[in-house]
Amino acid sequence: MSAVLREDFKEILRLVRPSARVLDVGCGEGELLELLVREKACDAQGLEISPAGVSACLARGLAVVQGDADHDLDHFPSRCFDYAVLSDTLQAMRDPKHVLSELLRIADQAVVSLPNFGHWRVRWALVTGGRMPETKALPEPWWSTPNIHLCTLRDFTALCDELGLRIDACASLAEGKPARAIDPARPIENWRAESALFLLSRRPEGGPVEGQRDLFGDPVRAPQRRGAAR
């Protein structure tokens, strides 16, 4: 995975309602789960594939099941969580489209962060070097990277459209810098954002839920017409 995105934990903590039911998919050693339990009194559950990660979580007293996001999300009942978090992992999934739609079946909202392959450094490295880019967000060489399904912001928003998902908020993330709210439909952001974090929901067309706050604590606006930007 990339090195940049641990920054997103702060943003996720700001976003999640206190006492919410949260599933952290690919929870690693449980850093985010622990923060969610401690800071937000969340009812937090992890899903992690590596035995070392699972036992570290158990030793920290966190609820975690050993499993694989590509297969095991299918076994959760619908809408059993308020949020499903997939932090910097979607691009490593075998079937990201399926995983994304499963996240929003089992949870009312999903928080998904991912590196942006449209970032100017990535484009520049490919154009000038002619080789697969290695950047801060994508540090491994092509033959050892777990990131097998990389995408740009535009790719991702197109997939969200296809799946009928609404983007409630989006922030650009970069190591050591504060998160910046962005409109992912603006072409310039697809050049500028090193990584991005999305708050997604699958709700029928209409206004946002009363009192719903976005990443930055602002009231969530009505759905944007992203199609216009293309």
Partner 1 sequence: MADGITSETASDGGTHRFPANKPLRLDSGATLAPLEIAYKTYGRLNADKSNAVLVCHALTGDQHVASTHPITGKPGWWNTVVGEGLPLDPERYFIICANVVGGCMGSTGPSSINPKTGEPYGLAFPMITIADMVRAQAMLIEALGIETLFAVVGGSMGGMQVLQWAADYPEKLFSAICIAAAPRHSAQNIAFHEVGRQAIMADPDWRGGAYELQGLRPEKGLAVARMAAHITYLSEQALQRKFGRELQRNGLSWGFDADFQVESYLRHQGTSFVDRFDANSYLYITRALDYFDLAAKHDGILAGAFRGARKVRFCVLSFSSDWLYPTAESRDIVRALFAAGCPASSLEIKTDKGHDAFFLDEPLLDSALRGFLASAAQARGVA
Contact set with partner 1 (CB under 8 A): 43, 45, 51, 54-55, 57-67, 72, 75-77, 80
- Of the pair 73, 122, the CB lying nearest partner 1 is at 73
Contact 101, 92 (CB under 8 A): no
- Residue 79 C-beta: closest distance to partner 1, Å: 10
Cα four-point dihedral sign 94, 96, 98, 104: positive
SS3 16: coil
- Residue 116 C-beta: closest distance to partner 1, Å: 32
The beta strands (E) that lie in the chain are given as 21-25, 43-48, 63-66, 81-87, 107-115, 166-174, 177-181, 195-201
- Of the pair 23, 174, the CB lying nearest partner 1 is at 23
- Of the pair 3, 52, the CB lying nearest partner 1 is at 52
Among candidate residues 36, 45, 147, the one with its CA nearest the CA of residue 89: 147
Residue 132 exposed, middle or buried by CB count within 10 Å (0-12, 13-18, 19+): middle
Cβ neighbours for 143, distance < 8 A, ≥ 6 positions apart:
none
Contact 188, 152 (CB under 8 A): no
- Residue 221 C-beta: closest distance to partner 1, Å: 33
- Residue 93 C-beta: closest distance to partner 1, Å: 19
- Of the pair 82, 161, the CB lying nearest partner 1 is at 82
- Of the pair 59, 222, the CB lying nearest partner 1 is at 59
- Residue 64 C-beta: closest distance to partner 1, Å: 5
- Of the pair 51, 204, the CB lying nearest partner 1 is at 51
- Residue 80 C-beta: closest distance to partner 1, Å: 6
Residue with tokens 């702060």: 10
Mark residue 79 as left, alpha or beta (left: phi above 0; alpha: psi -120 to 50; beta: remaining).
left
- Residue 74 C-beta: closest distance to partner 1, Å: 9
Contact 17, 42 (CB under 8 A): no
* DSSP per-residue letters across 80-105: -EEEEEEES-GGG-S-HHHHHHHHHH
- Of the pair 61, 178, the CB lying nearest partner 1 is at 61
